[in-house]
Amino acid sequence: MKGLFDRSIKNNETIVIFYMGQDNKVTQRYVRVLKYNNDYALVYCYYRKKVRTLKLDNILSAGPRKGIA
């Protein structure tokens, strides 16, 4: 995941994540990583349309966004 996050930061790339919120609901989100550390990622979330802090432990999977022209 670190390599994907680094590429998102360097190239301003959008990635897709599956995230489990506090209510244990899983959502698919398109985000652009701004910075991260061992515990949290600061991202721009296109789902919420704002900057969010996400717990890395709650990110179930992450990958490149496909189909962007």
The CATH topology of domain 2-64 is SH3 type barrels. (2.30.30)
The 40-45 sheet, strands edge to edge: 50-55, 40-45, 26-36, 15-20, 59-64
Query: Which residue has better confidence, 40 or 65?
Result: 40
Residues paired with 37 in a beta bridge? none
What SS3 state is found at 5?
Answer: helix
Using 50, 70 and 90 to split pLDDT, how confident is the model at 67?
low
* CA 20/CA 15 separation, integer angstroms: 16
pTM: 0.88
